Structure 1
Amino acid sequence: MLTNLKAQTLVEKEVPVYTLPSLTILNNGQEIKTAKVWENKRRDEIIALLKNEMYGTMPEKPKRMAFKVFDVDSNALNGKATRKQVRVIFDKKVDSVFMDILIYIPNKSRQPVPLILGLNFAGNQEALNDPKIKITESWVAKKSKGAINNKASEASRGYSTDVFPIERMIDEGYAAATIYAGDINPDYFNLTNAVQSLYLKLQNRKDNFSTIGAWAWGLSRAMDYFEKDNQIDEKRVVLTGLSRLGKAALWAGALDQRFAIVISTESGKGGDALFKREFGESVDRIIKVFPQWFCANFNKYANNVAQMQFDQHMVLALVAPRPLYIGTAQEDLNEDPKGEFLSLKAAEPIYKLYGFKGLPINEFPKVNSPVHNEKMGFHLREGKHGITAYDWDNYFVFIKSRL
């Protein structure tokens, strides 16, 4: 049993007074007033800070990476789509370390199509009940549907179609791609597995190559493949993620400006919610329950959030000026819905540097009342942690007018 975890505040009146670090003050104390200075100076300062203190370092794009298309079926989904399965081998000399991308491309388009990309929790076979999808051979959590001795089984096929609705994406005119996060790095505390085994020198340091960092890095490697696939419009790739995978999506989208739109669903602390509110999941709990998620330097902020010189509004601001949408749920207090909204609001100054307006409201919105502007979107739906058709309804509305 885990003990000595700091109590989690779930009462709004108990939120302490806090001050967020400035987005627009350079390390030398000067204030930035233009998007050019943001891009040339402040953006890099914030990335360096976040890498050193939280997400950890990460490798460059591999020089010996290879792509192997091992499955193509132009009659998938009753003829509506072409299914591809692509193996990304990070180092051709170590072909046992790889991730598999599952892709469906609508057949009705003769031009390169926009694509929606997201990691999944327990294997590509969960995304759709298609017997041709390769079942992951990587480690999966015991609680995963149909898992036997931490391995996926046939029982898991199509189990999470609601989380990443591939067939609906095809019907809406988008390609869909998903990757099992555990192919990149299994979600338990062993930082020498999978892709991290190729970069052991990045582990014996305080800003080590973390699990969230590895997942984000893997998403960028998927983008490397999309740039080579002439059926995909690599300029119109939407990046999504739920919960911990939303944390990875935000970090990948913050760093890699090739992603056209970034959407986070209930990614909470370490994703889109403010740490300094100390509402919901605590830093203490993250460090003790999920020590692999962030780098070793992050551990010093247990019971010490006030000393952070960063917060998650900085991650959201790094997405600017690209469109960014945050979706959350009323009963998901652990993820701090209000803190997610306030984090998005706190990122507005950078969007304004580019000449865009902030969200049209300042107060936390009512349930099921989505708010959008040209570059930002937010909704609070009724219900608990997860992702629903309502979430996707709003995401599709947002995406359609911004790609």
Structure 2
Amino acid sequence: MNKPHLLCLKLLLINAFVCTQAADNPTPLEWTTTQDHQNMMEQLGITELRPGRNGWAQAGEPNAANYDESQANPYPDLPELLVTLDGSPVATAHAWRTIRRPELIAAFESEVYGRIPQNVPEVDWRIEHSYENLTVDSIPAIAQRLAGVVDNSAYPEIDVSIDATLVLPQKMDKPAPVLIMFGWKPLEFPDDATTAFTLDGTPSRFNEDPPSFSQLIAAGWGIVYLIPTSYQADNGAGLTRGIIGLVNKGQPRQPDDWGALRAWGWGASRCLDYLETRPEVNVRQVGIEGVSRYGKAALVTHAFDERFAVGFIASSGAGGVALHRRNFGESTENLASSGAYHWFAGNYIKYATEKSRFGRMTPDNLPVDSHQLIALCAPRPTFVSYGIPENGDALWLDQQGSYMATVAASPAFALLGAQGLGETKDYRTAPLPPVNQDLLDGELAWRQHDGGHESQSNMKHFLRWAEKKMR
């Protein structure tokens, strides 16, 4: 072969290699939330969604959120909890484990929260800084800033790292239980690791309760303060970045891909992986906690990862404990809008559809509801917490619908040898218990405190209950 032909062959090979590399490593899309939401609607064949409810509008105004309990249950019949897809009753723990639980997992993954892909890369945990001159409410403690660096060798265009801080009492006579808490922003530490300082929290505005960190450390617990937005943004524009974007190589999701709630739960599970390497931690007593959207994430985490010993689910509202089928405050239509759809699998949008190639769908078409998600936590202790609207835990969260779901989940706990809520009435008629009344006898627990949109006011009750139940 002469030299010109050799040169052409080399150029062809180089071009083929470059094209292959480009196909394997496409440039991450820089879409807006609106563009990503529209793309998912096009994938699903949806041309019109029903608008979300307006929580600020007065009754009678256009599309005002409903707060009339007499109109709150347009779909009063929930999907069966202890009946399999073929209509067989689930009467044994074995049938729950081998048939019903897998059915529910599959439905929630396909239609609500999405599937975690098989090819999610490994996480390498590193201690970035250690702080040993620390007190938490005058109790000596140590803190370590952790970084969970995700292997991005398959797609170097996106870097992902999990930001978490481990705080432990300095004096322990045995491995400590630990509560992984979804946090809103990283903890602040002094630049000098040798400087003595106090890790302060915010006292409750409603009572004399100390900050949650203080209550936990005083009770001999450790804390992992996990920042979920460090590895997956809380918006639709971030779905081509973070851990979801890394796995998808910067490209859009498919309709059953995981959303942010599932991704945040994945990060909590990786924290639990790390805690399994720490001898100071009792890995059989690790819990998960979150408030508001992170309450949703905590419930999803607890339901899917059975290694978590206990869940503290605070003020989670729609998409968390509250029933999807309710028409009270925040609705499925709100969750399917461009402001919240990224929390869920793309398929969830279908249930707010007015016009599409498959017709109209409502929340009643959902194959599952939140009572079944709570049931996936059974028989492990699960504490459902709310505050009161007068102090900021708005009616928008639907405390009544959340109580109904908790009541409806109780039979699964009983089937598995645990104690449910203890409510004797059916979920359709069970009234919301009085504020500050303890329903803490069972592994499934409920308490509505007189504080606001926070978990701090229920922390002391949770700790007493959890230590009893985890024994």
* TM-score over 0.5 for the pair: yes
Query: Is residue 2:403 matched to residue 1:341?
Result: yes
Counterpart-to-counterpart distance in 2, 1:256 and 1:309: 21
Match of 2:145 among 61, 85, 100: 85
Query: Is residue 2:351 matched to residue 1:301?
Result: yes
Counterpart-to-counterpart distance in 2, 1:159 and 1:169: 12
Counterpart-to-counterpart distance in 1, 2:445 and 2:401: 15
Counterpart-to-counterpart distance in 2, 1:119 and 1:252: 11
8 Å contact 1:210–1:292 — kept in the other structure?
A: yes
> Which position in structure 1 is the counterpart of 2:70?
13
8 Å contact 1:124–1:133 — kept in the other structure?
A: no
For residues 98-141 of structure 1, give each alpha carbon's deviation from its aligned partner in whole angstroms, at most 9, with x where no partner exists: 1121011111104211001111122233xxxx42599xxxxxxx
Backbone CA RMSD of aligned residues: 2.4
Match of 2:318 among 269, 272, 279: 269
| Equivalent residue letter for 1:47 | I
Q: CA deviation at 1:161?
A: 7.1
| Equivalent residue letter for 2:438 | P
Match of 2:167 among 104, 125, 130: 104
**CA distance 1:63–1:301, shift in 2 (3 Å):** closer
Q: Helix, strand or coil for the counterpart of 1:218?
A: helix
Query: Is residue 2:454 matched to residue 1:386?
Result: yes
Q: CA deviation at 1:373?
A: 1.9
Query: Is residue 2:176 matched to residue 1:117?
Result: no
**CA distance 1:330–1:66, shift in 2 (3 Å):** same
8 Å contact 2:121–2:152 — kept in the other structure?
A: no
Bigger Rg, structure 1 or 2: 2
> Which position in structure 1 is the counterpart of 2:246?
198
Q: Helix, strand or coil for the counterpart of 1:83?
A: strand
8 Å contact 2:329–2:398 — kept in the other structure?
A: yes
Q: Helix, strand or coil for the counterpart of 1:298?
A: helix
> Higher mean Cα deviation, 55-64 or 364-373?
55-64
> Which position in structure 1 is the counterpart of 2:266?
217
| Equivalent residue letter for 2:458 | D
Q: CA deviation at 1:180?
A: 0.9
For residues 127-164 of structure 1, give each alpha carbon's deviation from its aligned partner in whole angstroms, at most 9, with x where no partner exists: xxx42599xxxxxxxxxxxxxxxxxxxxxx96767697
Match of 2:234 among 164, 187, 190: 187
The aligned runs of 1:44-193 (5 Å cut-off) are: 44-60=102-118, 62=120, 64-77=122-135, 80-91=140-151, 93=153, 96-125=159-188, 130-131=189-190, 165-190=212-237, 191-193=239-241
8 Å contact 1:203–1:209 — kept in the other structure?
A: no
8 Å contact 1:244–1:267 — kept in the other structure?
A: yes
Counterpart-to-counterpart distance in 1, 2:458 and 2:446: 10
Counterpart-to-counterpart distance in 1, 2:244 and 2:192: 26
Counterpart-to-counterpart distance in 2, 1:114 and 1:74: 20
8 Å contact 1:269–1:281 — kept in the other structure?
A: yes
> Which position in structure 2 is the counterpart of 1:399?
466
**CA distance 1:3–1:49, shift in 2 (3 Å):** closer
**CA distance 1:62–1:5, shift in 2 (3 Å):** closer
For residues 279-328 of structure 1, give each alpha carbon's deviation from its aligned partner in whole angstroms, at most 9, with x where no partner exists: 11011112212121111100011161121111101110000000011011
Counterpart-to-counterpart distance in 1, 2:90 and 2:190: 54
Counterpart-to-counterpart distance in 1, 2:201 and 2:216: 17
Q: State how many pairs are aligned.
A: 375
> Which position in structure 1 is the counterpart of 2:340?
290
The aligned runs of 1:302-381 (5 Å cut-off) are: 302=352, 304-331=362-389, 332-361=394-423, 362=425, 363-381=431-449
> Higher mean Cα deviation, 372-381 or 319-328?
372-381
> Higher mean Cα deviation, 246-255 or 10-19?
10-19
Segments of 5+ residues of structure 1 without an aligned counterpart are: 135-156
For residues 253-304 of structure 1, give each alpha carbon's deviation from its aligned partner in whole angstroms, at most 9, with x where no partner exists: 1011110001100101110111112211011112212121111100011161
Q: CA deviation at 1:62?
A: 4.7
Counterpart-to-counterpart distance in 2, 1:160 and 1:79: 17
The aligned runs of 1:244-259 (5 Å cut-off) are: 244-259=293-308
| Equivalent residue letter for 1:170 | I
8 Å contact 1:61–1:221 — kept in the other structure?
A: no
Counterpart-to-counterpart distance in 2, 1:159 and 1:286: 31
Counterpart-to-counterpart distance in 2, 1:354 and 1:317: 10
8 Å contact 1:212–1:293 — kept in the other structure?
A: yes
**CA distance 1:161–1:83, shift in 2 (3 Å):** farther
Q: Please, what TM-score do these two structures have when normalized by structure 2? A: 0.75
**CA distance 1:101–1:383, shift in 2 (3 Å):** closer
Q: Please, what TM-score do these two structures have when normalized by structure 1? A: 0.87
| Equivalent residue letter for 1:38 | W
**CA distance 1:227–1:35, shift in 2 (3 Å):** same
8 Å contact 1:62–1:90 — kept in the other structure?
A: no
